Amino acid sequence: MSTENLLIELGTEELPPKALMRLSTAFGQGIEEALAQANVPFEKVEVYGAPRRLAVIVKALADAQPDQQVEKRGPAVEAAFGEDGSPSKAAEGFARGCGVRVEELETMDTDKGAWLVFRQLQKGQPTSALIGEIIDQSLNRLPIPKRMRWGDSDIEFVRPVHWLLVMHGSQVFDVSVLGQQAGNKTYGHRFHHPGSIELNNADDYLSILKDKGYVIVDPAERRAMIKEQAIKAAAELGGFALIDDELLNEVSSLVEWPVAVAGDFNAQFLEVPAEALISSMQDHQKYFPVIDNKEELLPHFITISNIDSLDMSQVKAGNERVISPRLSDAVFFWTQDRKKKLEDHMASLEKVVFQKKLGTLAEKSERVAVIAKAIAEKVGADVNNAERAALLSKCDLMTEMVYEFTDLQGIMGRYYAKHDGEHDDVAAALDEQYMPRFAGDELPLSVTGQILSVSDKLDTLLGIFAIGQKPTGEKDPFALRRATLGVLRIMIEKQLDLDLRDLLEIAATALSEKADAKAAVDDVLRFMLERLRAFFADKNISADIFDAVLACKPTRPVDFSRRIEAVNVFKGLPQAESLAAANKRIRNILKKVETPVAKAVSESLLQEAAEKTLYAQLSALDAEVNALFAAGDYQSALTQLAALKEPIDQFFDDVMVMTDDEALKNNRIALLNQISELFLQAADLSRLQ
């Protein structure tokens, strides 16, 4: 069996740039999984792709499957032959199914008796005979939401297919896929080398396309080239390229031969908020903006050309002509929007539906204002600012700038609020209401922004649950999981010590005219507390610590976090393992008690020295530990309770809890219950592993 590198390249019309990386990765994974399933040995799979091609290189791929020893077990020997030794119908049928005579079958002895068995060395199929089906399967499984047809063919793919290259070393495999017969020819850059390029060996692919075809087929290499060129071009302008990763990926999927070109625009455009200009450059033109060392926008941009022109000044001038009208649009929107105040848009919100069962954006803003006012009162913030920010929160959605550049929602609200003379906290909150926008994003800095963000998300959460559209499986159209994590992060990291149940009850009252939201409060609360699992998992908190705290159902996220920190520290103490086991034993005993447990321990009924010692130490700690729990100092309280390890261990060694004497038994159960309730003020330690 010999091995060679296998090259598969599918040549197409320009692929969707935002989907190219996903398609390339999925194609490579499909090939890898199919080869493994077919049991064809290989070293690894490398994925490549450019705007006009999907490519995979399989390193050290064997030219055939290995031969396999096939073994099939048939009927038991007792059932395979009659008394005269003649084969039964079962034996004959088994032999016929294996394509042999009964005499050719072997016997296999096992612990359960002897069986007929068929053994045969099965020759491995050549890879060339398998690869066509493997490629077909992989292409059919690509994540393509909508396939297209071309010409008069019934063949469907994301874009029309023009060539197919399948080579194993220097051998071209006889394969036909998507109407294309495989050959040894690839094609270079559409303009720099539009003709075919013949390969003598699959190993020449990357170098020959780069050196002769003007195609950088490695997406990582293209990405690095673009980034390096953009940084260099910006430095020559005295600035820094603003390189967004998502845009960088998209641009690298638009070009095969990247060449950075610096351009300029009229400095007068800088009177418009920088975010609007940046959005126009990035989203519409796929340009990299240029900023100075103070992160102020400069009147320059970097574009990535797909050709190495003999006269780059023409490329520069063409892009400058294109960008000017786009930035002029931003100037127009900025000028027009400021002719009205934000509050003037409130009436327009009454015509925009947030969700058909939950009403308009105007109604949502009013509900959010109710929640925001209540939170502001609870945390001692400015109630007027919180309420005002909530009422104005969706007004910028009615502006022309946000209509054109939707990613500027909130950002433009902040600018327009400042222009209108609104309080600085109100203006900041209009932007901060959307924070955090994604995992790991920054949180609102202003208290008003924190309040508005929490209020808006809670209204959405409870409202969507109340109308029966909570997330299921991977479907979460209203991004409720992200909204929940945002609320929890703000409360914990910004130390807003609020009770989720209280806030959900307030939100439910505000929603009462639209839905029976009170019935959904418990469901939403469970959903939100369960989201904390991922939050603490990211902080390397083990699942058993989280479950120990969750068992107590604390509804204040700040309080939940303090308990987590305390139990995490407690688990590292030398007494923790023994006390966790003791708590588990206590919980098991208490579960079996059918009668009500006495509230207090009768000291006169304590007989054994171990129970007297335990009760004495428990009584000595009780007042101090309860005070610590009341103050939320769970760590100090659990550290104090660690001193109970020895007396609890001694108690279980020396004392029979379930004694026949009913009074003694109940008194000892009351003592254990007192210990359990004391620990449960922090967490259910019986859940610790």
Q: List pLDDT tens digits, range 204-229.
A: 999 999 999 999 999 999 999 999 99
Query: Would you tell me how many other CB atoms lie within 10 Å of the CB of residue 44?
Result: 10
Helix (H) or strand (E) run with residue 566 in it = helix 557-571
Cα–Cα distance, 518 to 470 (Å, whole number): 15
Query: Is the separation of the CB atoms in 240 and 292 below 8 Å?
Result: yes
Q: Cα-Cα-Cα-Cα dihedral of 373, 375, 380, 385, to 10°?
A: -40
Residue 265 binned pLDDT confidence (cut-offs 50, 70, 90) = very high
* CATH superfamily placement of domain 562-687: Isoleucyl-tRNA Synthetase; Domain 1 (1.10.730.10)
Residue 81 binned pLDDT confidence (cut-offs 50, 70, 90) = confident
Query: Is the separation of the CB atoms in 3 and 120 below 8 Å?
Result: no
Q: Where would I find the beta strands (DSSP E) of 251-325?
A: 259-264, 288-291, 297-305
Closest CA to 142 of 30, 14, 38, 18: 30
pLDDT in tens, 672-684: 888 999 899 999 9
Query: Is the separation of the CB atoms in 104 and 117 below 8 Å?
Result: no
Give the angle subtended at the CA of 497 by the CAs of 493 and 498, to the nearest 5°. 120
Across the range 363-385, mean pLDDT stands at 97
Give the angle subtended at the CA of 199 by the CAs of 193 and 203, to the nearest 5°. 115
245-252 and 17-37 helices, crossing angle to 10°: 80
pLDDT in tens, 512-547: 999 999 999 999 999 999 999 989 999 999 999 999
Query: Is the separation of the CB atoms in 71 and 88 below 8 Å?
Result: no
Q: Is the dihedral of CA 454, 460, 465, 470 positive or negative?
A: negative
Tokens 């550290």: give the residue: 639
* Helix, coil or strand: residue 179: coil
Closest CA to 326 of 289, 294, 351, 377: 289
Residue 115 binned pLDDT confidence (cut-offs 50, 70, 90) = confident
Query: Is the separation of the CB atoms in 588 and 677 below 8 Å?
Result: no
Task: Kindly report, as residue ranges, where domains of CATH 1.10.3210 are found in the chain.
Answer: 344-540
3-65+126-211 is classed in which CATH architecture?
2-Layer Sandwich (3.30)
Token digits of residue 530: 């369960």
What is the predicted pLDDT for the residue at 523? 96
Task: Kindly report, as residue ranges, where domains of CATH 1.10.730.10 are found in the chain.
Answer: 562-687
Closest CA to 480 of 466, 500, 453, 460: 460
Token digits of residue 149: 């047809």
Residue 91 binned pLDDT confidence (cut-offs 50, 70, 90) = confident
Longest CA pairwise span in the chain (Å):
108
Tokens 């919980």: give the residue: 587
What is the predicted pLDDT for the residue at 301? 97
pLDDT of residue 287 exceeding 90, the answer is yes
pLDDT of residue 317 exceeding 80, the answer is yes
DSSP 66: P
Residue % of the chain over a pLDDT of 90? 76
Which backbone phi and psi does 441 adopt, to 5 degrees?
Answer: -70, 160
CATH number of 344-540: 1.10.3210
Give the angle subtended at the CA of 318 by the CAs of 235 and 193, to the nearest 5°. 90
What is the predicted pLDDT for the residue at 68? 79
Which backbone phi and psi does 122 adopt, to 5 degrees?
Answer: -95, 125
Average pLDDT score over the chain: 93
pLDDT of residue 65 exceeding 90, the answer is no
Between 58-62, 436-440, 486-490, 501-505, the lowest mean confidence (pLDDT) is in: 436-440
Task: Kindly report, as residue ranges, where domains of CATH 3.30.70 are found in the chain.
Answer: 3-65+126-211
Query: Is the separation of the CB atoms in 465 and 520 below 8 Å?
Result: yes
Across the range 162-166, mean pLDDT stands at 97
| Exposure b/e, 45-65, CB count within 10 A at least 16 = b | bebbbbbbbbbbbbeebbbbb
Across the range 87-114, mean pLDDT stands at 83
Which backbone phi and psi does 238 adopt, to 5 degrees?
Answer: 85, 25
Query: Is the separation of the CB atoms in 402 and 412 below 8 Å?
Result: yes
What is the predicted pLDDT for the residue at 83? 72
pLDDT of residue 598 exceeding 90, the answer is no
Residue 87 binned pLDDT confidence (cut-offs 50, 70, 90) = confident
* Helix, coil or strand: residue 372: helix
Cα–Cα distance, 195 to 370 (Å, whole number): 68
Across the range 328-337, mean pLDDT stands at 96
Beta bridge partners of 120: 70
Contacts of 361 (CB under 8 A, 6+ apart): 349, 350, 352, 353, 354, 394, 397
pLDDT of residue 439 exceeding 90, the answer is no
- Cβ neighbourhood burial of 99 (10 Å; 0-12, 13-18, 19+): exposed
